Chain A
Amino acid sequence: MPLKFTLNGKEVCLEDVPGEATLLEVLRQRLGMLGAKEGCGVGECGACTVLLDGKAVDSCLTAAWQAAGRQVTTVEGLAQGETLHPIQQGFADTGAVQCGFCTPGMILTALDLVEQAPQPSEDQIRRAMSGNLCRCTGYHDVVRAVRRGAKYLRGEGEEQ
């Protein structure tokens, strides 16, 4: 039986996906979606974060088959053509990116957060982002980025 799910708004259909395969492996190796990264592989670092039905999950801990029939969103699905998603724009404008390895996961976690809390407090941001590790810049700019992105998403701020 083929595995079917919706990836960034488009239906995908894959043959011969083993039961033990992770969603991360399938995204990277079968579908060429390289935004999600494998950092630790055990659900500590959040570099593999994707949205499953709009909620942030570690794709390294999610069996690919658990995505069957669901909506999967990776960082590749956020920008509209050349226009970045407001959260992405927030990260770009605050310089909250150094090597960029953790950034896709950070952005997707932030997106889940701002869906719940359109105007998140610093505490809410820090708590929500605690499952996403960055080894370059520290977290100060990440907090600013999420706040700025949330602002853009609310339609405030000049960068819209």
Chain B
Amino acid sequence: MSRFLTPATVQEALKALAQPGAKVLAGGTDLMISLRQARMNGAELPELLVDVTRLPEITRMELDGPNCYLGAGLTFRFLDESLEARRRVPVLAQAASMVGSMQVRQTGTIGGNVANGSPAADGMSALVALDAVAEIASLEGVRHCPLSELITAPNQTTLAPGELILGYIITPPPEPEGQVFLKVGRRHEVAVSRLNMAACLDRELTDPRVVLGSCFPSPRRLVDVEALIKSGKPGPELWQAAGEQAASHFTDVCGWRSSATYKVPAITRITARALKRAWAQLEGRS
């Protein structure tokens, strides 16, 4: 049997999390499933569940000015419905709108999405495109870690016991109009991504960001594809070449697995499509 604690402040939460066997509970959409599994198998349960969803500090959202910040407790439903998020970080708002069902979006948070470390996490791909750096607290203090370094393997992170993600310092791309998130799943709604793509362009192609998720241990920026875009001339040929480069990036990293027959053309097209849309949005508003 687990004990349950609902701390009112971050300090109180960190104290609780420092106890052996303590576990962070946020939206619960992943953790409650693993607890269910553990109970069915008679496996050990966490000593203490620390519900962080009532900490006001972790639902802060700051999208104007030089220091943009997203609290780890922000839910997908909030981000989907927030006009400010839609305007300033549409890639994240779009990703949020495609996570699970309305019920899952209501409770699922961008903190839990990252801490759970699923390679298919939609929120994670969008956050990587926003160059998110996690702000992680423990009783020892606060450390900062880029998301690309936080996830080490599927469902494994560098988060130590006692640590809590407070939020993310983000650097949104210069032009929010050029942001697109796409995913491929077994059905349109309530589907785990087989592939996802967060793509951001600006009119000068100075800071393109192309993130492919659900293909690697964790979503990653395709720096070679970004370099190709920077040196190219915007248009269908460039988007297609970028798509092909993305697919070869995938096979270079993962080898030619059985799923590659499907994934290679799918990666090529999802990349080209995301870039085409991002550019069309930029042109539509210029």
Across-interface contacts of B3 in A (CB, < 8 A): 19
Across-interface contacts of A42 in B (CB, < 8 A): 33, 36
Residues 188 to 227 of chain B near chain A (Cβ within 8 Å):
188-190
Binds B, one of A5-13, A59-67, A76-84, A148-156: A59-67
Q: Does B53 contact A (CB under 8 A)?
A: yes
Tell me, rounded to whole Å, the shortest Cβ–Cβ distance linking A104 to chain B.
Answer: 13
Q: Does A4 contact B (CB under 8 A)?
A: no
Size of chain B's interface in residues, with CB distance under 8 A? Answer: 30
Binds A, one of B102-110, B114-122, B260-268: B102-110
Report Cα–Cα, A127/B20, bound state, in Å: 42
Q: Does B256 contact A (CB under 8 A)?
A: no
Binds B, one of A26-34, A49-57, A85-93: A49-57
Across-interface contacts of B77 in A (CB, < 8 A): 55
Check B51–A66 contact: CB distance below 8 A.
yes
Q: Does B39 contact A (CB under 8 A)?
A: yes
Binds A, one of B24-32, B174-182, B274-282: B24-32
Residue of A nearest to B27 (CB): A61
Tell me, rounded to whole Å, the shortest Cβ–Cβ distance linking B155 to chain A.
Answer: 16
Tell me, rounded to whole Å, the shortest Cβ–Cβ distance linking B71 to chain A.
Answer: 18
Tell me, rounded to whole Å, the shortest Cβ–Cβ distance linking B185 to chain A.
Answer: 12
Tell me, rounded to whole Å, the shortest Cβ–Cβ distance linking A105 to chain B.
Answer: 9
Check B1–A18 contact: CB distance below 8 A.
yes
Q: Does A15 contact B (CB under 8 A)?
A: no
Report Cα–Cα, A127/B51, bound state, in Å: 29
Residue of B nearest to A68 (CB): B6
Check A46–B103 contact: CB distance below 8 A.
yes
Partner of B101, one of A52, A62, A131: A131
Report Cα–Cα, A113/B77, bound state, in Å: 12
Across-interface contacts of A63 in B (CB, < 8 A): 4, 25, 28, 32, 49, 51
Tell me, rounded to whole Å, the shortest Cβ–Cβ distance linking B197 to chain A.
Answer: 21
Across-interface contacts of B36 in A (CB, < 8 A): 22, 41-42, 60
Number of residue pairs A-B, CB distance < 8 angstroms: 95
Question: Could you give, for residues 130-169 of chain B, a 1 whenever the CB lies within 8 Å of some chain A CB and a 0 otherwise?
Answer: 0000000000000000000000000000000000000000
Partner of B104, one of A18, A61, A68: A61
Report Cα–Cα, A43/B103, bound state, in Å: 8
Closest 4 CB pairs of A and B: A131-B101, A19-B4, A130-B189, A19-B2
Across-interface contacts of A57 in B (CB, < 8 A): 103, 106-107
Across-interface contacts of B35 in A (CB, < 8 A): 20
20 chain-A/chain-B pairs, Cβ below 8 angstroms: A18-B4, A19-B1, A20-B35, A20-B39, A20-B45, A43-B32, A44-B101, A44-B190, A49-B103, A55-B106, A56-B102, A56-B106, A58-B101, A61-B32, A61-B104, A62-B28, A66-B53, A112-B102, A127-B102, A130-B188
Residue of A nearest to B187 (CB): A130
* Known contacts A19-B3, A61-B33: A131-B49 contact under CB 8 Å: no
Tell me, rounded to whole Å, the shortest Cβ–Cβ distance linking B9 to chain A.
Answer: 17
